[in-house]
């Protein structure tokens, strides 16, 4: 208060400088809300001093503090104000930094954020600094993941890595590796992604960038889950939880109860699923993470599929995603599985043939979509697409079928292969695949999917 009074009395610039230092000290002790408040008061002092030349950097600092506190809406207001200052002053660096801030702190691959993409594209056209250019390329690659032309995101991520290396900037390189990881998010490149996550963690440590290091661990958790290395996955989730708590970053802390809910779902502890997923959703929404309600919805949806509680499904949730998500086709597979499970054979068969007639983007959702269509075919006893689905799933035998960022698992792909082999009248192959499914699901800790595999196997031997 005394500093603000001094600013009002005529020493506004000096007051602003002191308030900025106070905000930086608050950031250092991870007191993000306090830091944002100090920066806000510094901006008021700069306004009294008519010192717009200094306000851009303070707006960026306030936006960053607000992001770390989980107040995404207020952060975007600050970054928008910074962009306006940049436009008035023709400051290309400030414009690029404001665009990066507007895109956010964490990575939520939910849809195409047109405004964030437009600001990043605008910044990329004008940015001169190589390290900053790499950061813009990287974030734009992430934001374009669901674009109709997938090749640009992958090219941008590769360019970001090259640009950061040429600039010799470890922090920018960590960001570029993060984008590279997103661009490679498809089932056949999971081993490569695990290496990229390790590269991201190493670059972040070299830069002393704890946030980027945590994001790298977030990706590593996802990759291990997809590979089915559950011993390493448990260790990685525990490490992620410790680091997220140490840094007090809400945008990462909410994954702790989320992944605990996933574990409970795999073990059939459905009361814990509901409790933990509710905790995760509350924390994720409070953190401003756009993934929160989606991921929690997927955990609950998968738990109902495990129980074959088809009549309890919230079909409005799935129908909304089919209608509004750029990954809408990925939700149609699960939708088809549910209506087949409800016994609506004609409707399910029509939906199955419609989905199989559409192009399936080879992305993070591809493998789960094939498995969902396979399960619908098995429930319907419809062999029309069995051969196609069998060939698509066969390369992933021995691995779990997962969706999202460690939020949904259908257990071993082998269970679906067994059901498809039976539709194709390949009895011996069906028995072999289902025996493998029992063994693999046991190793994965997928207790419920193991029981499904055992029941199916018992019916055919």
What average pLDDT does the segment 127-147 reach? 94
pLDDT per residue as tens digits for the range 302-361: 999 999 999 998 888 889 889 888 888 989 999 999 999 999 999 999 999 999 999 999
For residue 7, what pLDDT band results from cuts at 50, 70 and 90? very low
Give per-residue pLDDT as tens, 163-189: 999 999 999 999 999 999 999 999 999
Residue 252 contacts residue 397 (beta carbons within 8 Å): no
Residue pair 227/242 in contact by the 8 Å Cβ criterion: no
DSSP per-residue codes, 104-166: -SS---SS--HHHHHHHHHHHHH---HHHHHHHHHHHHHHTTTSS-HHHHHHHHHHHHHHHHH
Identify the band that residue 8 occupies on the pLDDT scale cut at 50, 70 and 90. Answer: low
Residue 1: pLDDT over 50: no
Beta carbons within 8 Å of 102's beta carbon, 6+ residues apart: 63, 76, 79, 80, 83, 115, 116, 119
What's the average model confidence in pLDDT over 390-416?
96
Q: How far apart are CA 398 and CA 367, in angstroms?
A: 13
pLDDT bin (cut points 50, 70, 90) of residue 49 is confident
Query: Which are the contacts of 31, defined by CB distance < 8 A and separation ≥ 6?
Result: none
Distance CA 260, CA 378 (A): 31
215-246 exposure pattern, b = at least 16 Cβ within 10 A, e = fewer: bbbbbbbbbbbbbbbbebbeebbeebbebbee
pLDDT digits (tens, 9 = 90+) for 80-101: 999 999 999 999 999 999 999 9
The structure tokens listed for 169 are 């900037």
Mean pLDDT on 129-141: 96
pTM: 0.89
**Does an H or E element contain 403, and which?**
strand 400-403
Q: Which residue has the tokens 């230092």?
A: 21
Compute the average pLDDT of residues 251-271: 96
Whole-angstrom distance, CA of residue 79 vs CA of residue 62: 9
Sorted by sequence, the CB contacts under 8 Å of residue 195 that are 6+ apart come out as none
Tokens of 340: 């087949």
Distances (CA, A) of 141 to 80, 101, 326, 361, 438: 21, 15, 16, 17, 39
Structural domains in the chain, sorted by start: 1-90 (no CATH), 108-247 (1.25.40.10)
Residue 60 C-beta-side C-alpha neighbours within 13 Å: 16
Q: Is the pLDDT of residue 293 over 70?
A: yes
d(CA 133, CA 95): 12
Q: What is the mean pLDDT of the chain?
A: 93
pLDDT computed for residue 106 by the predictor:
72
Structure tokens at 453: 């595999």
Gyration radius of the chain over CA positions: 25
- Name the CA dihedral angle for 342, 350, 112, 201, rounded to a multiple of 10 degrees: 60
Please tell me the predicted confidence (pLDDT) of residue 13.
83
% the chain with pLDDT above 70: 97
Residues 132-144 have a mean pLDDT of 95
Given a contact cutoff of 8 angstroms between Cβ atoms, the answer to whether 286 and 263 are in contact is: no
30 sits in the region (left: phi over 0; alpha: psi -120 to 50; else beta) called left
374, 389 Cβ separation under 8 angstroms:
yes
Residue 5 has pLDDT above 60, yes or no: no
Q: What is the three-class DSSP state of 401?
A: strand
């Amino acid at each position: 208060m005394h500093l603000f009074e001094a600013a009002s009395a005529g020493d506004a610039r000096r007051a602003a400088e002191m308030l900025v230092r106070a905000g930086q000290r608050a950031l250092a002790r991870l007191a993000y809300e306090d830091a944002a408040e100090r920066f806000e008061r510094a901006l008021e002092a700069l306004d009294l001093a008519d010192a717009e030349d200094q306000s851009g950097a303070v707006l960026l600092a306030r936006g960053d503090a607000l992001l770390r506190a989980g107040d995404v809406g207020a952060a975007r207001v600050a970054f928008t104000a910074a962009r306006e200052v940049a436009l008035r002053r023709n400051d290309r660096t400030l414009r690029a930094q404001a665009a990066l801030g507007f895109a956010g702190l964490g990575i939520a691959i939910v849809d195409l954020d047109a405004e964030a993409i437009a600001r990043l594209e605008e910044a990329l056209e004008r940015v001169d600094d190589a390290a900053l250019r790499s950061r813009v390329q990287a974030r734009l690659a992430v934001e374009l993941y669901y674009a109709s032309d997938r090749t640009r995101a992958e090219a941008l991520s590769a360019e970001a890595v090259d640009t950061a290396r040429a600039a010799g900037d470890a922090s920018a390189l960590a960001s570029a590796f993060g984008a590279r990881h997103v661009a490679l998010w498809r089932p056949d490149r999971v081993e490569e992604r695990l290496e990229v996550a390790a590269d991201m963690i190493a670059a972040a440590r070299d830069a002393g960038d704890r946030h980027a290091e945590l994001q790298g661990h977030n990706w590593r958790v996802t990759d291990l889950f997809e590979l089915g290395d559950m011993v390493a996955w448990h260790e990685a989730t525990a490490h992620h939880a410790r680091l997220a708590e140490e840094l007090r970053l809400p945008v990462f802390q909410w994954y702790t109860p989320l992944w605990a809910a996933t574990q409970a779902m795999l073990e059939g502890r459905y009361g814990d699923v509901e409790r933990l997923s509710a905790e995760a959703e509350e924390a994720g929404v409070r953190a401003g993470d756009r993934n929160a309600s989606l991921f929690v919805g997927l955990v609950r949806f998968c738990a109902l599929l495990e129980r074959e509680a088809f009549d309890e499904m919230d079909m409005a949730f799935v129908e909304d995603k089919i209608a509004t998500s750029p990954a809408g086709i990925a939700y149609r597979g699960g939708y088809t599985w549910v209506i087949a499970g409800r016994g609506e054979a004609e409707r399910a068969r029509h939906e199955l043939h419609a989905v199989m007639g559409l192009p399936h983007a080879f992305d993070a959702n591809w493998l789960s979509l094939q498995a969902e269509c396979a399960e619908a075919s098995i429930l319907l006893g419809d062999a029309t697409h069995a051969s196609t689905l069998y060939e698509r799933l066969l390369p992933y035998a021995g691995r779990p079928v997962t969706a999202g960022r460690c939020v949904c698992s259908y257990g071993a792909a082998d269970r679906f292969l067994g059901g498809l082999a039976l539709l194709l009248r390949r009895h011996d192959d069906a028995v072999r695949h289902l025996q493998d499914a029992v063994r693999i699901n046991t190793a994965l800790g997928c207790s419920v999917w193991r029981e499904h595999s055992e029941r199916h196997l018992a019916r055919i031997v």
